[in-house]
Homo-oligomer: A and B are copies of this chain.
Amino acid sequence: MAITVVGSVAYDSIETPAGRRERCLGGAATHFSLAASFFTDVRVIAVVGEDFGPEQEAVFKKRNIDIQGIERAPGKSFFWEGSYLDNLNEAKTHITDLNVFASFEPKIPDAYRDSEFLFLANIDPVLQRRVREAMPDVKLVAGDTMNYWIKDHKPALLEVLKGLDILLINDTEAKMLAGNNNLVQAAKAVIDMGPHTLIVKHGEYGATAFFGKGSISHSAHGDFHAFRAPALPLEEVVDPTGAGDSFAGGFFGYLASQPELTPATFRRAMFYGSVMGYFAVERFGTERIQDLTRKEIDDRFILFRELTHLD
């Protein structure tokens, strides 16, 4: 089944202890859709400027990603410059130029309307909500957000959460959103805000899914429980940019590829999320995911199984 994703397609200038890259292709919707494209059909809604050319288009087309929903606008594409010199787990933002994104009005192509899965990547919650409302019949909606929206746009974000099945955020964001420093208590509070499932990403420690009422795993396991997908410690993290979006792409892409949503498919989806997030950081920007093969993905899935399974 097809996924529609709305989010940023952008240029990133990134500095990490491993080096520096100028204006490489980035943005949450880019990372998400590339990762998800290994599992299912992906359709992107975004806006880019006149600096988005055939070279960038080719990255999506090579992975059969539908980009008729990427609108071209006069001006420049979203640009972000950041570094991870002190701490690989947290980006330091130097420049955020919204450019054409400042006046973005998401439009949904007719050909996208039969998408059964919708992913609201990290953008202004006002836009997330608009896309959600324009696609009321999707089967499953997941979304991401970040500290900026939690802190300064909470009322709009809370409206988005009411329309989500699954929210994916990191530890700090989950605790900030709930105003509670205990992760389990925070997870319960976030689930009360709307999503029946909360996936909390722990960076190199993996990710935990918390299931509430109405979640895929609820009927099988009862009221409130959890599943943890591992990450493998890495000898060298080249660039953490896009790791979370790649996790989301692997996770949601695998779910959408399955004929049925069961607790078992959900668990496998968590593993595929970890696998894609893990590949993403091995090189700058989208370099590693662009080059990936399905065999590499499945081999790493087996590695993650061996890393965590008793036999």
Let me know if A305 is at the binding interface, CB within 8 A.
Answer: yes
| Residues A257-299 near B (CB distance < 8 A) | 264, 267-268, 271
Residues of B within 8 A of A183 (CB): 204, 233
Task: Report yes or no: A310 in contact with B307, Cβ–Cβ below 8 A.
Answer: no
CB within 8 A of A228: which of B182, B227, B308? B308
Contacts A226-B233, A230-B228 given; does A271 touch B185 at CB 8 Å: no
Q: Kindly state the separation between the CA atoms of A302 and B60 in the bound complex, as whole angstroms.
A: 44
B221, B233, B308: the one within 8 Å of A184 (CB): B233
- Give the Cβ gap from A84 to chain B, nearest Cβ, in Å: 13
The answer to whether B310 and A310 touch across the interface, beta carbons within 8 angstroms, is no
Could you say which residues of chain B place their CB within 8 Å of the CB of A236? 182
Q: Is A22 located at the chain interface by the 8 A CB criterion?
A: no
Which residues from chain B contact A227 at a C-beta distance below 8 Å? 306-308
Scoring A residues 222 to 237 as 1 if CB is less than 8 Å from chain B, else 0, what string do you get? 0001111010111110
Q: Kindly list chain B residues whose C-beta atoms are within 8 Å of the C-beta of A311.
A: 264, 267
* Cross-interface CB contact of A182 among B185, B235, B268, B271, cutoff 8 Å: B235
In the complex, A104 has a CB within 8 A of chain B:
no
Residue in B202, B306, B309 whose CB lies within 8 Å of A308: B309
Total residues of chain A contacting the partner, CB 8 A: 32
Does A246 have its Cβ within 8 Å of any Cβ on chain B? Answer: no
A133 to nearest B CB, angstroms?
33
A208 on the B face (CB < 8 A): yes
Q: Which one of B204, B225, B233, B310 lies within 8 Å of A309 (CB-CB)?
A: B310
> Could you say which residues of chain B place their CB within 8 Å of the CB of A208?
233
The reply to whether B228 and A307 contact each other, CB–CB distance below 8 Å, is yes
Bound-state Cα–Cα, A232 to B226, Å: 8
C-alpha spacing A264/B306, complex, angstroms:
11
Q: Are A184 and B310 in contact (CB under 8 A)?
A: no
Chain B residue at minimal CB-CB distance from A204: B183
Contact with B along A170-190 (1 / 0, CB 8 A): 000000000000111101000
Complex Cα gap A202–B311 (Å): 22
Residues of B within 8 A of A226 (CB): 232-233, 307
A18 CB to closest chain B CB (Å) equals 12
Residues of B within 8 A of A184 (CB): 233-235
Q: How far is the CA of A128 from the CA of B233 in the complex (A)?
A: 30
Distance in Å: Cβ of A240 to nearest Cβ of chain B: 13
The 3 closest A-B pairs by CB, nearest first: A205-B205, A184-B235, A184-B233
- Give me the interface of A with B, judged by CB distance under 8 Å: 182-185, 187, 202, 204-206, 208, 221, 225-228, 230, 232-236, 264, 267-268, 271, 305-311
Q: Could you write out 8 A-B pairs with CB less than 8 Å apart?
A: A184-B234, A184-B235, A205-B206, A206-B228, A225-B306, A226-B233, A227-B307, A267-B311
